[in-house]
Amino acid sequence: MNDDLDALAGELAEFEVEDKPVKRSPVEERLIAGFEDIQRFVDDAGHPPHNGPDNDIFERLYAVRLERLAANTAYHDLLEPLDHQGLLKVLNASDDDDELDMDALASELEDLDGLTDDITNIRHVRPVAERKAAEDVASRERCQDFEKFKPMFEQVQSELTSGVRATRAFERKAEIEVGRLFVLKGQKAYVAEKGKVYVNDNGMTEARLRVIFDNGTESNLLMRSLQRALNEDKASRRITDPSAGPLFADASVDGDEASGVIYVLRSKSNLPVVAEKQDLLHKIGVTGGSVEKRIANAKLDPTFLMADVEIVTTYELFNINRVKLENLLHRIFEAARLDIEIKDRFGHPVTPREWFLVPLFAIDEAVERIRDGSIKGMAYDPKSASLR
């Protein structure tokens, strides 16, 4: 009997009508597609999207979508079977929100979709970071102590005219450090100060800068904002350090014999007296070998304040007595010498003598005056931050 029933059931199965796929309207298809985009974001990010002002523009788009979908409970029947992440229940939509009809909701989602070719290729929305960079550069105010920087700008222009300095295309890899000079939108820009370096949300090093412009204005902006502005300005340039002829040139001429390098270093010490004036404090020295080898064990050497250092700039020299040159440089900046005593690794007190509270442009000027012979009788004046 059972065999007969099984045989009959098999015959009837041949006549069963297959379930037809559910036919959805174009509006419903757009709603589902938009919801699936949000689900993919959650899978990748590990959290629902948030519409915060500092969040990525794509996450903010998804957050707006999810808010609209969660607020319209009339359409949860369509989306809840697909909502394996419980996203529609995450957002507690306000009871005051006016419910949109299906066409209005689909239209709003379609408008959001229209911002992109796909959600990873934005077309019409300018990224928040770019807008902030433009605002930072554009936001300038009068430089109250511009008289301190004016002689430097005049000297730089003179050196550009005479060929002592040159301009080069700005490269993204170029370091933006205190003392560096650039041309941005036709104006010379001098990096006068740099705040504490930190790592931003994108994993990149960042710092707040004080940038002085040769028209008497200044701007307090982020390092990456200045970098983006320089990259976006097709006419931007970096201004090179002085090329002091055969004495301090990049290469010797016939008959010259290379004999050493003047180096300018910046300390990475955490000592309060050093950290507070890190951008102004420089070690000035001369070596006959590699600067990199000279500083390799800096954190073990009291001469380097028992800490790592970074190379700010160097000048290659030819046919010069290194000891006499170093003594001359130290005499010029004697008034700005750092008075500090530290202990070496054995606990013995040491007083380093090669650290000076002096801006990079003053060191550049001293090197240039040594080259052209005008250094005689000159000395650095800390009050005016210039050679007198």
Residues 6+ positions from 302 with CB-CB distance below 8 Å:
342, 343, 344, 350, 352
**Rounded to an integer, what distance in angstroms lies between the CA atom of residue 40 and that of residue 28?**
18
Categorize the per-residue pLDDT at 96 as very low, low, confident or very high, splitting at 50, 70 and 90: very low
Give CA–CA dist 66/108, Å, rounded: 12
pLDDT digits 0-9 by tens, 296-332: 999 999 999 999 999 999 988 776 778 888 888 999 9
Range of weakest confidence among 60-64, 132-136, 155-159, 320-324: 132-136
> Tens digit of pLDDT for each residue in 185-212?
889 999 999 988 888 777 778 889 999 9
Q: Give domain limits for the chain.
A: 24-128, 141-239, 245-387
**Mean pLDDT lowest among 1-15, 73-87, 117-131:** 117-131
pLDDT surpassing 50 at residue 249: no
Instruction: Say what the alpha-carbon torsion angle 360, 323, 345, 275 is, to the nearest 10 degrees.
Output: -10
Q: Which two tokens stand for residue 346?
A: 């054995």
Which band of pLDDT confidence, cut at 50, 70 and 90, is reported for residue 225? confident
Least confident of 129-133, 198-202, 205-209, 352-356: 129-133
Q: How far is CA 34 from each of CA 196, 276, 384, rounded to the nearest angstrom?
A: 43, 52, 63
Which stretches within the chain are classed as H helix?
2-13, 26-45, 57-71, 76-79, 87-90, 102-113, 128-138, 146-162, 223-232, 245-248, 272-275, 291-294, 322-332, 360-372
Residue 204 and residue 197: Cα distance in Å, rounded?
A: 10
- pLDDT bracket for residue 108 (50, 70, 90): very low
